[in-house]
Amino acid sequence: MSFGLNRRTFLRAMSLAAVGLAGAPILAACAPAASTAVPTAAPKAEQPKATEPPAAAAPAAKEPVTIVLNMRTGGDTGEPAIYVMRPAEFMKEHPEIKVELAPIAEYETKAQTMAAAGTLGDVMWSSMYNGYHTRLMRQNIVIPVDDYLAKYNKQKTEWVPAAVEGLTWEGKMRGLPKCCHPSVSMIWVNNDMFKEAGLAVPTTYDHTHADVMEWAKKLTKGTESDRQVYGMSFQIAASAFEYIYSAVRSFGGWEYNKEGTLSQADTAPWWDWLQWAYAAYSGKFIPVPESLPTEGEQGLFAGKKIGMVFGGRWMHNRIVTATKAANNPFEWSIIQAPREKNANGWISCVDTHSATTQSKHPEEAYLLSYALADKRFGELVMENQGYVTARVDDIDTVNRLNLPVLQVQYKNIQMEQTLIQPANTRGAEVQTTLANEVQRIFQGAVPFGQDALKGVKAVVDEILKKPF
């Protein structure tokens, strides 16, 4: 199923965006539809003088090229700055190109099937965090952009190094970054609860895990069997691999060896992290997943039942929406997640928009992919979606908007190091298994201790031994 950015689609998306992004400006209008009228004949030209050569015939007008953009279902309403506003502006800038959105449910599985069948669009969304884009690069499904960047006088230094490195395969950059977010690198803090507990409101940066644990203990209220308030919340559910990777790196560890062939779960930083997380779990300073209400941890935060919530860029709109809905205002702030002195860089979760090798219009596809990674794109995303992209010059808009959520993100992005990918590109399989095995430790299915992490490593290593 596909649909163009016609006026009805654009206005519907803008209306829905206004509901979820109250107060956000609408910065783009719908691109005009291409005219189908037959031009009238030009007046008869005056005959040239004998001494002049005859005028050359004008080239025939080109038909507009349609570029199909594969994206996840709901992108036009959930991220209108990306899938409505910027494409509308792009079509005004390039009236010879029409952008047609082609949303895909169950995206990664179906897009891979479409690639095998040769039915992909001209540009596709993809992500590096689970190795999916790495697979696309190795299967030659996305095109190298180096020659096009050179042709249009663009530099790879426009984007942060971690994004460029992650998108580079065999010396060529394949795809352009939609974003390069640092995953679970922030904490949302209830300042009023800190003051009531006799604690100073935390400064934005430079805290250790010991600091955060001490705050959590003092913020927690009620008996262990009947907690009224939890000091903090971080995910230990089966989908929590980003929380694991981010935290392990903040203790100085890595997810794999540099070749991506062996898990590092039996190393000292993993044990340091597990002891810290298990202390919070066993002390009941955090809510367990099964105790969370349907509105989630953001709902408990809005209800003043959690003092601190760990998360990534996705958490911000959830917190904003939940606190508005609760209509019980309090002062809150955003700080950087804790890091030890030997911490490694935050993981780089790169999402892309990449021209595909199945496109019949690769240059026009490149132009659209660049428009979904350029400075104007960054401005629209920060103003309307509330997150930083992957551009070095995002700092201009961060400074102009002066919002803490953007400021902390931008600083953390500069501290990123490329996410190591499994050599066999089985990132999704590894991450699901890893999170499940770690959760078994918290649930008591595996005795707590360093041997438990050796078991985690063994299971993950078995997956890493599988073929591409």
Q: What is the pLDDT of residues 402-429, one digit of tens each?
A: 999 999 999 999 999 999 999 999 999 9
Averaged over 218-226, what is the pLDDT?
96
Is beta strand 308-311 parallel, antiparallel or unpaired with respect to 97-104? unpaired
Distances (CA, A) of 358 to 85, 126, 131, 337, 431: 26, 15, 21, 42, 30
DSSP state of 95: T
Ranges of beta strands (E only) in 230-331 are 308-311
pLDDT confidence tier of residue 400, bands split at 50, 70 and 90: very high
Topology adopted by domain 186-346+418-464: D-Maltodextrin-Binding Protein; domain 2 (3.40.190)
pLDDT tens digits, 327-378 = 999 999 999 999 999 999 999 999 999 999 999 999 999 999 999 999 999 9
CB-based contact 448:441 (threshold 8 Å): yes
pLDDT confidence tier of residue 395, bands split at 50, 70 and 90: very high
pLDDT confidence tier of residue 314, bands split at 50, 70 and 90: very high
Rounded distance, CA 438 to CA 447, Å?
A: 11
CB-based contact 408:334 (threshold 8 Å): yes
If one compares 333 and 64, the residue with the highest pLDDT of the two is 333
Averaged over 124-128, what is the pLDDT?
96
Least confident piece of the model among 28-37, 104-113, 395-404: 28-37
CB-based contact 407:426 (threshold 8 Å): no
Instruction: Tell me the pTM.
Output: 0.85
Task: Name every residue whose Cβ is closer than 8 Å to that of residue 390 and which is 6 or more positions away in sequence.
Answer: 159, 160, 163, 177, 178, 179, 180, 350, 373, 413
Rounded distance, CA 119 to CA 415, Å?
A: 39
CB-based contact 353:125 (threshold 8 Å): yes
Give the model's pLDDT for residue 237.
83
CB-based contact 164:170 (threshold 8 Å): no
Structure-block tokens of residue 397: 């808009």
Residue 34 has pLDDT above 60, yes or no: no
Give the model's pLDDT for residue 375.
98
Give the model's pLDDT for residue 344.
98
Residue with tokens 């490149």: 366
Averaged over 189-209, what is the pLDDT?
98
Give the model's pLDDT for residue 293.
85
pLDDT confidence tier of residue 275, bands split at 50, 70 and 90: very high
Q: What is the CA radius of gyration of the chain?
A: 25
Residue 87 has pLDDT above 70, yes or no: yes
Q: What is the CATH number of domain 3-32+64-179+350-407?
A: 3.40.190.10
φ, ψ for residue 375 (rounded to 5)? -65, -40
pLDDT confidence tier of residue 277, bands split at 50, 70 and 90: very high
Q: What stretch of H or E contains 210?
A: helix 209-219
CB-based contact 110:104 (threshold 8 Å): yes
| Residue 346 bridge partners (DSSP) | 416
Q: Which ranges in the chain are annotated with CATH 3.40.190.10?
A: 3-32+64-179+350-407, 186-346+418-464
